[in-house]
Structure formats: C-alpha cells, structure tokens
Structure 1
Amino acid sequence: MYDILVQVMTKNGLLTAFAVVGLTMWISYYLSARLTRGHLHGSALAIMIGLLLAYMAGAATGGTKGVVDLKLLSGMGLLGGAMLRDFAIVSTAYGASLSDMRRCGLSGIVALVLGVVLSFVIGAGVAYAFGYTDVVSMTTIGAGAVTYIVGPVTGAAIGASSDVVALSIAAGLVKSVLVMVGAPFFAKAIGLDNPRTAMVYGGMMGTTSGVCGSLAAIDPKLVPYGAMTSTFYTGLGCLMGPSVLFFATRALFA
C-alpha cells in the first residue's frame, strides 16, 4: 500500500506539490493563530518552514535544489518555477480599485523609485562592508536587497557568480521576512490603514510576498493595493538593476 501511494504521488508530482504547500500553509496559519495570536503572520511562518525543509532536504540528499532533490517532491520544481511564480505575482494585484490607485498619484511614483534606490544602496553597502568590493558583486547583492527576484535577474545579466546570486536571493528573503513580521507592529504608528498608504508602503518595501503577508495581517482589504505597487517595484528593479544601478555603481567604484 505504501509503495503504491509513493508511486502515485511521484507520478503526479505537481498535485503532490500543491498538497504539500497547502498542508504547510494550514500548519503555519494554525501555529500563527495559536502561538502568536496573529502577530506573526502565517505566511512568514510558512516561509521559515519552507527554508528549513529545503535545508533539511539538501543535508539529507547532498543535493543543491532543496526539496526538489527528493523524488517524492520533484513537482515542487514546477510549482516554484518562473511561470507560476510570475503568474502569482501578477495575480496579487487583481481586485485593486482604479479610483483609489489614481489618488496615490505622484506619491506612489516617488515611493517606487525611492524604494528601489534606497534598498539597493543599503544592500550594496552591506556587501561592500563584508568584502564584496567588485562592482558585479555589489550590484547583484544590492539588487537582491531590492527583492529576491531582482537579484538573480541582475546577476544573470551582468555575469555574477552563482555564489553571489545565492547571496542576493538570501538578502531578498531576509528582507521579505522582516517586512512581513515587522510591519503589523508599526502599522498604526505609520498610518497604514487605507489604500493610499498601502500603495506607498508597497512601493517603498517592494517585496511582494512580504508586503502581501504583512497587509493580510493588518487588513486583508489593503492587500491588492500594496501588491499593485510592489509588483511594479519588482519590474522597475529588474529594469534598473542591470542598467542604471549597475552603471552608477561602476562609475563610483570601478
């Protein structure tokens, strides 16, 4: 019976991956409600559990692709691939009202540009402080601080090594978790309770998973607005990382 179950789950890898992700989310939200009373959002716990499982799978198999190295969970490679990832990012923006978006106006545009540049400068500065002083590494890690999607896109475009690209992804994941966990504690102090501030917040923070997770904990109705600007933020970062930001870094440090 066990062998038949494993065989069925392996042949239907994508369905198995959906089931495992669904179970992980259920456990995460249960722990969030029971242990933290919602202060630590379920999405943040899910990310932590996912990272832990990826590490454990890598340690057990000696592989480099996390749980995908386990034959039973090979469908995770498709579920976490670029196509479904991009679809998920874009779909988060559906449900936003155009009238509320227009009210954001110039403040949203300024938040987007300032958010990308500020995150990049901080990330590149930390990279420089830890000894990554070449332009390519600084740019890639700085782009990773923008989001964990912008980092590898930028690194691939400018020829960064796989180790540096991995660091850029790690930087983006740390930022995502910090935003997701920290924002609900400061929401009242910064007035994060309406569509306009949610859009500015999404433009400043940028990490779609972190923004959506934190806004879901604050007020689920704000999620589409934050997701809208954070999605544009990712696209803007992918455009600016290998071009404007790379050339600016090279002009300063080459």
Structure 2
Amino acid sequence: MSYFINELFGTRQLVFAFVVVGLLTWLCYAFSKHITKNRIHGSAVAILVGLAVAYYGGITTGGKKGIADIPLFAGFALMGGAMLRDFCIVSTAYGVRLEELKKAGAAGVLSLIIGTALAFIVGVAVAYGFGYRDTVSLTTIGAGAVTFIVGPVTGSAIGASSDVIALAIAAGVVKSIAVMILTPFLAKPFGLTNPAAAMVYGGLMGTTSGTAAGLAATDVRLVPYGALTATFYTGFGCLVCPSVMYLVMKVIFG
C-alpha cells in the first residue's frame, strides 16, 4: 500500500492529476444535479472550482503555475500544458464533418460567420480598453473571445507572449461559463425552443462546451442541433483568426 501511495504521489504525478480532476468533476456534477437541479451545468461548476483552486495555489506559493507549484500537484503543469491543449485542438478538428454543416443550411453558416466576427470584435474592444495597442496582442485576445482554443492557437501562430495567450484563454473560459449559466434563463425570451433556433444559437455563441451545457440545462433535445454548428465554430476560428482577422488588424492598427 505504501508503495502504491508513493508511486501515485511521487513518480506518477500526472496520473494523480487525472485522479483529482476526475474526482472533482464527479463532485461538481453531483452538486449540479442535486443542488442546482441542473440549472447550472456541472462543467460550469467544475471550471469555477478549478479557477478557484488555481488562484489559491498561486497566492499560496507565490509561483507562476497555480496549483502546480505545490509539489503534490506538480502533475497539473503537464496536464494543463501545451501538449494536451494541442491534443484537444486536434481531437476537436477530427470531429468536424463538412456534410454535417450542410444540414444547418444558410442560416447556420451565416450565424457561424457573424458569431465569430462579433466575438472577435468584442474581445479586441475589451483588450483595447485595457490598454493593449499592438496588433499581435489585440488579435490574440480577440481570438480568445471566440473560444479558449482559438486564442492560444492564434497567439502561437502570430508570436504572442505567454501572458497574452493566458489572457486569451481566460477570455474564452469566461465566455464559456457565461453561456453555460445564462442559456437556460435566456432561452424563452430569445425563442430558443426549436432545433432551427438551436442551430443558429450554436453558430452565434460557438464555445461547444458552453453551448452544449447550456442547451442541456434548457432542453436536452436541443443539444445535438446547437452542437452541430458550435462544433465548426472552433475550427472556423482557428482558420480565420490567425490569417484573415490578423491581416485586417494589421491594416487597422499597423
């Protein structure tokens, strides 16, 4: 038993990180089900808990890696690093099928374009308001507002600093949580009650995790339709943000 504990906490730190995340996720989903009655999705609760734990680790150790600065949780540095992040990006891209996008029709495609552009503009405006003026930083944070995957992909492609990439990820996470929590409350006022509306909503909001979780808390029957267009949102953002959007930003800001 002591050997097992030593291996898990000592040389198997990544495995221990997965164990901790799995346990926290299970607890958060249980909290969502029994306490909030699924009005706040379990993934939203899990993200909030993760951010709180990371913040606690950062202020406790004075380090730069959050909870990973505590030796017991060092495995989180690898788990949350670029390698697994890029793996998530690739796996998301593999899930995209063009024939599925055709099912969404012109409205789905148009919502995808409008949603990506609006999120990018809002992200750039917020970044500009907080004092960022260089094209690379503005583009990266704007891409982060599209999704927390598009942000780091764009930042890595155009040479953004690690601090700016971190802000881009944070912007995407905030958006994802907001969509998760607000969707059930805005569903009826926005007419989000049928498959066609769900497809348009998925294209406008993107953030597959946020859209799927929000629709699941609204009406589980709408999830496949919202996810249909939201799945393409990340891939489309990864395509246009480091290229078209960056070139447009170069023209505007030099």
Task: Output the TM-score relative to the length of structure 1.
Answer: 0.85
1:51-107 per-position Cα deviation (integer Å, ceiling 9, x unaligned)? 11122223334433334444444444555413542366358779xx95xx6442001
Corresponding letter in the other structure for 2:155: G
Aligned to 2:235: 235
SS at structure 2 position matched to 1:133: coil
CA contact (8 A) 2:96 2:232 kept: no
- Pick one of 85, 89, 92 that aligns with 2:92: 89
User: Does the C-alpha gap of structure 1 residues 15 and 193 become closer, same or farther in structure 2, counting only changes over 3 Å?
Assistant: farther
User: Does the C-alpha gap of structure 1 residues 124 and 104 become closer, same or farther in structure 2, counting only changes over 3 Å?
Assistant: same
Aligned to 2:208: 208
Corresponding letter in the other structure for 2:229: T
Aligned to 1:185: 185
Aligned to 2:56: 56
Separation in 2, partners of 1:70, 1:12? 15
Separation in 2, partners of 1:83, 1:132? 26
CA contact (8 A) 2:89 2:149 kept: no
CA contact (8 A) 1:93 1:224 kept: no
SS at structure 2 position matched to 1:37: coil
User: Does the C-alpha gap of structure 1 residues 212 and 65 become closer, same or farther in structure 2, counting only changes over 3 Å?
Assistant: farther
The question of 1:7 aligning with 2:7 is answered yes
Q: How does 1:17-32 map to 2 (within 5 A)?
A: 17-32=17-32
Q: Which runs of 4+ in 1 moved over 4 A?
A: 1-4, 77-80, 90-94
What RMSD, in angstroms, separates the aligned Cα atoms of the two structures? 2.6
Separation in 2, partners of 1:227, 1:74? 34
CA contact (8 A) 1:108 1:229 kept: yes
Separation in 1, partners of 2:69, 2:211? 30
Q: How does 1:16-165 map to 2 (within 5 A)?
A: 16-77=16-77, 79-80=79-80, 81-82=84-85, 84-86=87-89, 89=92, 98=100, 102-165=102-165
User: Does the C-alpha gap of structure 1 residues 148 and 76 become closer, same or farther in structure 2, counting only changes over 3 Å?
Assistant: same
Q: Quote how far apart the aligned CAs of 1:50 are.
A: 0.9
Corresponding letter in the other structure for 2:130: F
Deviates more, 1:63-72 or 1:112-121: 63-72
Separation in 1, partners of 2:95, 2:54? 25
Aligned length: 250
Corresponding letter in the other structure for 2:142: G
Unaligned stretches of 5+ residues in structure 2: none
Aligned to 1:172: 172
Deviates more, 1:79-88 or 1:207-216: 79-88
Separation in 1, partners of 2:133, 2:12? 46
1:202-222 per-position Cα deviation (integer Å, ceiling 9, x unaligned)? 111111221122122123343
Task: Output the TM-score relative to the length of structure 2.
Answer: 0.85
